[in-house]
Amino acid sequence: MVGIVILNYNSWADTVACVDSIHEAEKKLEFRIYLVDNCSPVRPEPGVLESLDKRGVIFIQNERNAGYSAGNNIGIKRALEDGCEEVLISNSDVRYETGSISELQTYLQDHPDVGIVGPKIFLRDGSIQKECMMRKTGIREKYLLRTRFYLFFPRLNNSYWGREHDYESEVFQVYAVMGCCFMFSRKCALDVTPLDETPFLYEEELILGISMEKKGWKTVYDPNSVIHHLHGNSTEKVKAFAYTCNICSEIYFCRQYLNMKKWQILPLYWYRSVLYGLKMLRYQDFRKYVGEYVKRTGLELKKIL
């Protein structure tokens, strides 16, 4: 049985549509959906939870929102306790094509040395997301490829994202897949979870890639499984908050996983802060949130030795 963990935060319509697409895509697959609500202040329309319950969805209500990894950890733990042999992590704004989940399950069962497999992702505009990471993100990658400097290093950038591969039809091993949708084998999930809950949002793929490498598990991209990612619906209205989470998580990742010193992190932080300032010129929520940005990122910087 596949355990499907969907994390919800103020995205009830998306979540219902995601559940509907799973049932439509998988008529024969044995699965159980675990819907983890991260303490959404917006409550669902009347009858939504009752309807989901009738479809066999297990609803788990968090008392507080501790972030992406913490919410998913609750669903993963419950799925493993229930004996699920595979665990699928899914954003609520993902839609599934026929047999997409079954394909991921079959691949893991046929390749016991593979711990995580991810699908081909179509974005809202119909293009394929060609962004599997092919190696660990170190200091060089952070500065040259995760900033606008990537424009000056096209070959290095394409190599990092695996763009020499055919994302349309080629199955290939990667360092990490995108976090919107991927499947663990049971053995792998037991090995590499719980996920690091310190980052509230973002950097999860980078951290999980390191955990997979340390434990000796392979990660694979399988385009025979196809999903559609509407991308960013849950954070669209809180852009300044999401951006701040991104920077805080980046500082934590650089400190905890790359052992970078403050003098190595500060130029990257200043670069991100300049971008924040430019966004203030365009978006009102960035202007309103600037105090929190300075406060939260400052606290993260103080943790660096």
Whether the ω angle into residue 267 lies within 30 degrees of 0, i.e. cis, is: no
> What's the confidence (pLDDT) of residue 148?
96
DSSP string, 224-250: EEEEEE--STTTTT-HHHHHHHHHHHH
Of 216, 299, 191, 201, the closest CA to residue 255 belongs to: 299
- Enumerate residues 6+ apart whose C-beta is below 8 A from 213: 136, 175
Confirm if 53 and 59 have CB atoms less than 8 A apart. Answer: yes
Q: What is the pLDDT of residues 53-100, one digit of tens each?
A: 999 999 999 999 999 999 999 999 999 999 999 999 999 999 999 999
Helix ranges (DSSP H) in 181-237: 186-192, 204-215
Q: What is the pLDDT of residues 12-60, one digit of tens each?
A: 999 999 999 999 999 999 999 999 999 999 988 888 999 999 999 999 9
Stretch 125-132: mean pLDDT, rounded? 96
What's the mean pLDDT when you consider all of the chain? 96
- Enumerate residues 6+ apart whose C-beta is below 8 A from 27: none
Q: What is the pLDDT of residues 162-185, one digit of tens each?
A: 999 999 999 999 999 999 999 999
Q: H or E stretch including 120?
A: strand 114-122
> What's the confidence (pLDDT) of residue 92?
96
Q: How far apart are CA 147 and CA 291, in angstroms?
A: 24
